[in-house]
Amino acid sequence: MTGKGRRMPDMEEKKKTDEKKKKRGSRFWLRGLALWLTVMLAFTAASRIADSITIAKANTEQITGRRIRHTVSASGRIEQNRELAVVTEPDILIESVAVREGESVEEGELLLQLDLESISGQIDAVNRDIQSLELQNQALSDGRSLEDAKRETDIMRAQEDYEETVRENEAAAADARRELREAQANLEQAEQELREAQTNLEQAKQEPETKDLTQEQANPGTGAPDLEVLQAYAAQKQSAYDACKASLSEKEAALEAALQTQKTEEKAAARTLEDANTPQAPDHTAEINQLTIEEYRTKLQKLERLRESKGRVTALKKGTVTGLYVSVGQKTTDTAAVTVSDESAGYRFVAKIQGEDVSYVTAGDAAELKSAGKTVQNCTVTSVEAGENGETYTVSVQLDKDSFRPGESAVMNVIRESDEYPYTVPLTALLQEDRKTFILVVDMENTVLGQQYVARKVEVTVLDKNSDYAAIESAALDSDSQVITDTDRYVEAGQRIRLIEN
Amino acid sequence: MKKGLITLVLAVVAAIAVSPVCFLLAGMLMDNQELTECLAPVFSDGEGFVRWHIIPRYPTLQNLVELLLDAPEFFQMFWNSVKITVCILGGQLVFGMTAAWGLARYQFRGKKVVYMLFIVLMMMPFQVTMLSEYLVLDSLRLMDTLSAVILPGIFSTFPVFIMYRFFCSIPKSIIEAARIDGAGEFRIFLSMGLPLGSAGILSSLVLSFLECWNMIERPMLFLKSKELWPLSLFLPQIKAGRAGFAFCASLMAVLPAIFVFLSGQDYLEQGIASAAAKE
């Protein structure tokens, strides 16, 4: 055996061992690859399951054309077109009430039964009142006559006083004038004499030859007057003049005083006379009493009629009791005790609607009324009136007589259809974002997972809408589009969706 | 000493070569915020340099979970890639192997011309033949189907070339001995040719796998429906800002190739060595 022979088997064994190792390594990685593919398969399933859970489910509807129907509903009540008030005399005790609110009554049917004793008491009271007033009037009449006579006497006396005052004052004034005239005449005389005396004095002073003359003149028969005598004479005339002047002044003052007194006393007498002639304030108490008496008589007639009818208050017309404002044991008042609708005048339905609905209701529209177990169609809206606040409107619908009873509640439906819109969607399909309105339509998109439904956002303009549908307008729509009406979770534009088959 | 130095140099080069995979692993475990911070220069007009953490500061499995549970399209593309690759490899085993055996073991008129054709077609890049392929596939109404990618792959020339070299290396005497023993040609092919040429077959399969798994041009050109796209077209669809998800998807995409390479590494070495020796 050579060395080479022994090395040969070792090398072959080593080679075989290496090959075995390589094969084992290769098998290991192949198993790893198989395991890896198995894991990927499991995660493929898990990913699909997770995707099916997270994908949004959507309800869709075809975009179609339709008319938008606006139904305005409002609850209201039936009211009478005419209501009659049943008024009776006040302060009469009510013995019984024969009707209740909402009850139908025939013409002449008993509404209230009043207490006869109370009526009789009222009648007696009224009679007493009438009597009292009549006596008052009588007393007033008597008193007025005495007053008239007294007044005439006062007038006559005032007149007499006035005339006497005038006479006396005129006489006094005449005397004063006379005395004044006399004083004036005396003054003139004195002035004349003074003037003469002064002239003589002047002459005596100027011409001595005339001195004798002057003396002679001064003392006639004495021969030639003295200058001193002339002076004294002049002084004397001066004094006389001054005295006359003073007297004149006094007379003037006396006249003035007399005139003033005349004026004052005449004025006072005139006022007294005027006061006496002043008419007295008219006293209409008697007339008022008379009117009151007439009222009482009218009331008395009513009470007597009421007593004749044995205290029965009946309905004037056939209708329905719409209001009962009294009760047994109370006394009647001067307001209506009972209100009854006049059936002959018909009824109307009245309801309030909001401002946003008023554009769909106008006078002349057809309306339908529903009440418990009853529906009346082909009614007509008679009026739509704005309320005080401008936010609500009152709608009236005229009714036939036999359709409803007053006081009954009913629901009005007014339906108005618009023109046909080419694109309408359910209201649930409309979405709002940044003050813009849009819808989500379904698009088919070629994705890695195949043909998938994807939500596409389309901005729209709402033309009209009711509680169910909205008419929209958009350039990106066509009649084949399907709009997403509802989803089980939030859906964004571009997101995959799954359609729920209806 | 010399051996250590060589080892060191090789280790450095290997580290540089492996570094992208390390970046991949690290990026896969980073959250979006950390990735945004590191890759900010990439997304902000190229100012500054990218920073990278080998070990993430805030590791997370969020991207992995998102890929494995929240991305069904990834798995759709993954199985498309598997389908394409398996069909092509299967087809190459059927047609390529037999073509290589025929070229290697038999003499017939025009053999050299056919062989030259194979060489010429192997040398041509896809861009040269894509228009003719497009027209042929369109006339056959195979556009937008997986067959548009699979059929050209099945009849690829490169695997034939690899297997031809190995079949040529089988000694004639063994074949003749089998003939003398009464084996038919098909029996000889199955019992002698396949086992003796297995190294070449497996190496061509490994190389073909790597080529098919990473195929981009043919799917991009011939497949319009996204549901037929292979995994190689998934990464370009990932939008910016999902870098972590992209890293995860990249790693998942490269793992099968790593498995296949490691399992067929020896045969690949033999194939390359054989080709080099023949040259």
Stretch B222-236: mean pLDDT: 89
Q: What percent of chain A has pLDDT over 90?
A: 41
Position A252 pLDDT exceeds 90: yes
Q: How do residues A379-431 score in pLDDT, each as one tens digit?
A: 889 999 988 888 889 999 988 767 777 778 899 999 888 889 999 999 999 99
Measure CB to CB from residue B76 to each of A29, A46, A448 and give the nearest one.
Answer: A448
- Is 90 exceeded by the pLDDT of residue B87? yes
CATH number for the domain whose boundaries are B71-276: 1.10.3720.10
A47·B75 Cβ contact <8 A: yes
Q: Label residue B278 by pLDDT band (50, 70, 90).
A: very low
pLDDT in tens, A3-16: 445 556 677 788 77
The DSSP letter of residue A279 is: P
Q: Number of helices (H) and strands (E), helices first, in chain A?
A: 5, 20
B226 vs A30: CB contact, 8 Å cut-off? no
Interval A424-481: pLDDT, tens: 999 999 999 889 999 999 999 888 888 889 999 999 999 998 888 999 988 888 878 8
Q: Which of residues 12-31 of B touch A (CB under 8 A)?
A: none
Average pLDDT (A200-220) is 64
Question: Least CB-CB distance to A29: which of B76, B79, B259?
Answer: B259
A chain contacts of residue B237, beta-carbon cutoff 8 Å: 448
Interface test mutation site (partner B, options A36, A47, A496, max chain B beta carbons within 10 A):
A47
**SS3 state of residue A417:** strand
**By C-alpha distance, which of B85, B75, B67, B72 is closest to B29?**
B67
Domain with CATH 1.10.3720.10 in chain B: 71-276
DSSP string, A68-109: EEEEEEEEEEEEES-EEEE---SS-BEEEE---TT-EE-TT-
**What is the rounded CA–CA span in Å between residue B173 and residue A42?**
51
Distances (CA, A) of B27 to A495, B14, B233: 28, 20, 20
Position A502 confidence tier, pLDDT thresholds 50, 70, 90:
low
Put simply, whether B229 touches A (Cβ < 8 Å) is yes
Give the predicted TM-score (pTM) of the model: 0.59
Is the CB of residue B142 less than 8 Å away from at least one CB of chain A? Answer: no
Of A33, A44, A47, the CB nearest to B260: A33
pLDDT band with cut points at 50, 70 and 90 for residue A209: low
Q: What is the mean pLDDT of chain A?
A: 87
The reported pLDDT for the residue numbered B274 is 61
Query: H/E/C letters for each residue in A134-157?
Result: HHHHHHHHHHHHHHHHHHHHHHHH
Q: Is B72 on the interface with A (CB under 8 A)?
A: yes
- Look at residue A215 and tell me whether its pLDDT is greater than 70: no
Q: Which of B256, B260, B253, B259 is nearest to B238 (CA)?
A: B253
Residue B73 has its nearest CB partner, among A25, A54, A449, at: A449
Asked if the Cβ–Cβ distance from B263 to A26 is below 8 Å, we say yes
Mean per-residue pLDDT, B150-167: 91
SS3 content of chain B, % helix, strand, coil (to 5): 75, 0, 25
Per CB-CB distance under 8 Å, the chain A contacts of B226 are 446-448
Q: What is the DSSP letter of A331?
A: B
Smallest CA–CA distance from B262 into chain A, residue:
A29
Per-residue pLDDT, averaged over B57-77, amounts to 90
For chain B, strand residue ranges (E) read none
Alpha carbon A378 to chain centroid, angstroms? 37
Work out the average pLDDT over A146-155: 86
Sort out which chain A residues have CB atoms less than 8 A from B61's CB and list them: none
pLDDT the model gives residue A348: 87
**Residue B51 pLDDT exceeds 70:** yes
Per-residue model confidence (pLDDT) at position A1: 44
Closest residue, chain A, to B78 (C-alpha)? A40
Q: What is the mean pLDDT of residues B135-148?
A: 94
CB nearest to B78's CB, from A29, A40, A447: A40
Average pLDDT of chain B to the nearest whole number:
88
**3-class DSSP assignment, residue B126:** helix
ipTM confidence score: 0.84
Per-residue DSSP letter, A330 = -
pLDDT at A72 over 50: yes
* Pairs of residues, one from chain A and one from chain B, whose beta carbons lie less than 8 Å apart: 76
The answer to whether B72 contacts A47, with C-beta atoms less than 8 Å apart, is yes
- Whether A448 and B227 lie within 8 Å, measured CB to CB: yes
Nearest CA-CA distance, residue B183 and chain A, Å:
29
Whether A93 has a pLDDT exceeding 70, the answer reads yes
For the record, the structure tokens of A85 come out as: 């008030």
pLDDT attached to residue B218: 92
The average pLDDT across B46-50 equals 74
Res. B279 pLDDT band, cuts 50 70 90: very low
Q: How many CB atoms lie within 10 A of CB A335?
A: 10
Write out pLDDT tens, residues A315-349. 988 888 888 999 999 999 989 999 888 878 888 89
Give yes or no for B236 touching A (CB within 8 A).
Answer: no
The residues near A372 (Cβ < 8 Å, ≥ 6 apart) are none
- Candidates A36, A46, A449; nearest CB to B227: A449
- A191 with A162: CB under 8 angstroms? no
**From A33, which residue of chain B is nearest by alpha-carbon distance?**
B259
Task: Provide the token pair at A150.
Answer: 């007294």
- Cβ distance of A446 and B227 shorter than 8 Å: yes
Minimal C-alpha gap between A20 and chain B (Å): 12
3-state secondary structure string across A486-498: EECCCCCCCCEEE
For B225, which residue in chain A has the nearest alpha carbon?
A: A446
**Chain B residue with minimum CA distance to A30:** B263
Contacts of A33 in chain B (CB under 8 A): 256, 259-260, 263
Task: Give the span between the Cα atoms of A363 and A381, in whole angstroms.
Answer: 5
Record: contact B263-A29, CB cut-off 8 A: yes
Tell me if chain A has a CB within 8 Å of the CB of B74. yes
Rounded to an integer, the average pLDDT of B194-206 is 89
For residue A72, the one-letter residue type is: V
A186 contacts A241 by C-beta, under 8 angstroms: no
Beta carbons of A448 and B256 less than 8 Å apart: no
Average the pLDDT over A154-169 and give the result.
Answer: 91
Q: At what angle do helices A3-54 and B243-263 cross, to 10 degrees?
A: 150
Position B144 scores a pLDDT of: 92
